[in-house]
Structure 1
């Protein structure tokens, strides 16, 4: 098996033309340098440096190798050196982000504008997030998973918060709840649309109402917040949705504080450790942090 350290030794020997000077530069003893030269001669089948008077001169084979060996050593150093700079304007790449349609609608325009300015050949591929399974991140078919982090998320994944959010009530303009104070009892009396991607029919709001002896009537269950907002705008249904997701769709809607206390939640991005040091991936994560910031 070839010892690639010999390439470094050969590069220095050919540059210095002296065993003593090469040993000094590599911080080796003269005897260790002589042994290295012997190994190089055996590996190449050529004496490489031969005596001429008091000095050493390179053989034709050594002269032939000098430029090639120097380039190989430079390339090896470049491979093993940590990467610090990347010109995103020259990057041609597609990133796959798994998230909700609401996230894309709310933050996609700003994210795409930022990417168009800095990396015109980078393309984003958004795929719908229907579950919290992390297998796609592990397989590498998804670069970033964005959403509320589940307590049971794989511990191998890396996570960074993007923003905190809370649920608010939404009804159409002119709805009965758009006028006057909203008590828990008044809230529970209305007809509600509930958002559940897992097919559940009750959630934290129902638990908070039940703690006060109240039960709300859920007449419709949908899989996404955009659908719930659209139904609330055109019917008498009451929707409870993340506050961040209604700013772009508030026209024709009345938003209000929920009359019960439910926990806030954090929307985060998750990625596999294999992507952590990748400079283009780091840049994309920085873009997301910027567009999702306060």
Structure 2
């Protein structure tokens, strides 16, 4: 079955509003003969004469009267969809955004982000959800509006990404830990018992690979799934945790942090979204809030790169 010509909806709307072929043709900038042909096509498609002669004019049939209000609403809705987006009114914006982040992000950036959103758009609601992997399916299917993290091999090729800030791994121990009594060398570092953060079944991390190049091996006593868990365990023991620096600021307020005595590369934290949200005014505003909040909390701000 062939698809109907949706342009006929506009023609039908004008014909029913004018009740006159000549005036409808003038309004649509068509010739009277072209309008007459369009009316013939409409009669064929709907199976109804729509407009019938009564004296010198035309009157709508009962079917035309049924269609008049309905087709007007359809045309108005279609025109609204094709217009440029209206100016965003943050004071009246009522929308819920779902944000997917790794642990530590909400603790560090959440309060400032919520304060910003509450101040500018008091009717906007935020739903934070965990990020157990780097799959792009939630962005693709629309269950997540925006997420943050490190771009990985499983990130969809169509996903938009913008760098927010650079981060690095650091060491964290409780205050008064024996490791703090002297220079933190690689040799002294591996003498302690360590916490490995791994979301999968990995038994080694980048730190172990870097230590192996130096001929050193550390003892991993505990494996956890999040930085928050690592910090909690280190706070109440002599275990040594390795966590990201800027995304765990608020988690380790009462802890002692130190640069790792091994060479690990920095990494970039980005925000990611699906390209269908590129031009959405509310989403663009949300991305701007993320950029500025992260710049304020993280220090260095990386300019937009989509």
User: Please, what TM-score do these two structures have when normalized by structure 1?
Assistant: 0.79
Partners of 1:73 and 1:252 lie apart in 2 by 62
Give SS of 2:292's match: helix
User: Partners in 2 of 1:11 and 1:139 — Cα distance?
Assistant: 35
The counterpart of 2:99, out of the listed 94, 97, 100, is 97
5+ residue gaps, structure 2: 300-306
Residues 1:7 and 1:128: Cα distance change in structure 2 (over 3 Å): closer
1:33-72 matches, within 5 Å, as: 33-39=35-41, 45-47=49-51, 59=59, 68=69, 72=74
CA separation of 1:33 and 1:60: change in aligned 2, threshold 3 A: closer
| Segment drifting more, 191-200 vs 122-131 | 122-131
Change (3 A) 1:174 1:268: same
Aligned residues: 289
Q: Which residue number in structure 2 is paired with residue 258 of structure 1?
A: 260
Aligned position for 1:155: 157
**Partners of 1:41 and 1:48 within 8 A in 2:** no
Task: Measure how far apart 1:208 and its partner are.
Answer: 1.2
Tell me, which stretches of 5 or more residues in structure 1 are unaligned?
Answer: none
| In 2: Cα distance, 1:29 partner to 1:133 partner | 56
Q: Deviations over 1:216-269 (max 9, x none)?
A: 222222221122223333332222211113432444322222222111112223
1:248 aligned onto 2:253: no
- How far apart, in 1, do the equivalents of 2:235 and 2:43 lie? 83
Structure 1 CA distance for aligned equivalents of residues 147 and 182 of structure 2: 41
Other-structure match for 2:216: 214
Q: 1:231 aligns to what?
A: 233
- What SS does the aligned partner of 1:101 have? coil
Alignment of 1:77-96 (within 5 A): 77-96=79-98
CA distance in 2, matches of 1:253, 1:267: 23
* Deviation larger for 125-134 or 106-115: 125-134
Worse-superposed segment, 172-181 or 262-271: 172-181
Equivalent residue, structure 2, for 1:204: 206
Query: Could you report, residue by residue, the CA deviation over 1:13-36 in whole angstroms, capped at 9, with x for unpaired residues?
Result: 6559673x7556544445323423
1:123 match? 125
Out of 11, 35, 53, the position equivalent to 1:9 is: 11
1:171/1:232 contact within 8 Å kept: yes
